[in-house]
Amino acid sequence: MDYRRQLDLDGEIAVVTGGARGIGFEAAKALGSCGAHVVLIDLDQGVLDAAVAALADAGVTSVSTRPLDVTDPDALEAAATDLAAELGKIDILVNSAGIARLNSALDTPDEEWRLVMDINVNGVYWASRAFGRHMVAKGKGSIVNLGSMSGLIVNRPQSAASYMVSKGAVHMLTKALAVEWAPMGVRVNALAPGYVATDMTLKMRDRPELFNVWMDMTPMARCGEPQEIASAILFLASPASSYVTGAILSIDGGYTAW
């Protein structure tokens, strides 16, 4: 076996939701750097255009975009059908779109709860269903979901019931789809990242009563970098992980090892 080719994605088609920024953007860069044609899905075409330009600066030029909302199942189905027809197949899906809200259960408005569940859970399910049906039809594919260590433990000192519940649901959805689709040649895995240096996390430096506790509870005493998460996504999307399905890979600097 030529192990150097295990991360070769030449000719593969990879779709990344939430692909215009943060972990999704780094995932797109990693997949594209290894040869995949990358389709970025995000809400705003202007943000998508900026991401395409940034990817080009990094040497990733085989990129297309689709502005859509992952909470719209009909739009996802239409995009999957159009892309499969246009590009010939769908090989990889990375479900990176997501939001977080820090409110106690008693103070979480109903509309906020629904929004978190709609994006973090329904969006992952609907995207997986839309693109997964094309993978099942050709007997091959890999789906990587962005879960969270918050789906494995209870965060502290902040309250974030909606986020924790949503990520726990992503983990179980990952396992359910992995078992259901394994006979059809489709692998489904998830990452459970800890605190990662995205804009969403770094702005919490302004709240040291939270941020300092997070770092104290992380054995490596730092945030992960988006590219460190993207490297794990690359592994799970590639032939290097061909016998891995239904896995929830913790990548949290040791936070959940205590």
Q: What is the pLDDT of residues 67-113, one digit of tens each?
A: 999 999 999 999 999 999 999 999 999 999 999 999 999 999 999 99
Helix (H) or strand (E) holding 167: helix 161-181
Identify whether 70 is part of a domain.
Answer: yes
Identify whether 255 is part of a domain.
Answer: no
Q: Could you tell me the CA-to-CA distances from 256 to 82, 121, 200, 251 in Å, in that order?
A: 41, 22, 21, 9
- Structural domain tally of the chain? 1
Q: In this model, does residue 142 exceed pLDDT 90?
A: yes
Identify whether 131 is part of a domain.
Answer: yes
Identify whether 97 is part of a domain.
Answer: yes
Q: Report residue 199's pLDDT band, with 50, 70 and 90 as the boundaries.
A: confident
For the chain, the first-to-last Cα distance in angstroms comes to 37
Identify whether 253 is part of a domain.
Answer: no
User: Looking at residue 79, what is its pLDDT?
Assistant: 98
The CATH number assigned to the domain holding 71 equals 3.40.50.720
User: Looking at residue 147, what is its pLDDT?
Assistant: 98
Among all residues, which ones are annotated catalytic? 163
User: Looking at residue 77, what is its pLDDT?
Assistant: 99
**Which domain covers residue 133, as residue numbers?**
3-247
Identify whether 256 is part of a domain.
Answer: no
Identify whether 126 is part of a domain.
Answer: yes
Per-residue b or e along 197-211, where b marks 16 or more CB atoms closer than 10 Å to that residue's CB: bbeebeebeeeeebb
Q: In this model, does residue 4 exceed pLDDT 90?
A: no
* Dihedral sign (CA 239, 240, 245, 251): negative
Residue type for position 111: E
Half-sphere exposure in the Cβ direction for 110 (13 Å, CA): 0
Q: In this model, does residue 245 exceed pLDDT 90?
A: yes
Q: Could you give the 3-state DSSP secondary structure of residue 244?
A: coil
User: Looking at residue 203, what is its pLDDT?
Assistant: 86
Identify whether 257 is part of a domain.
Answer: no
User: Looking at residue 224, what is its pLDDT?
Assistant: 97
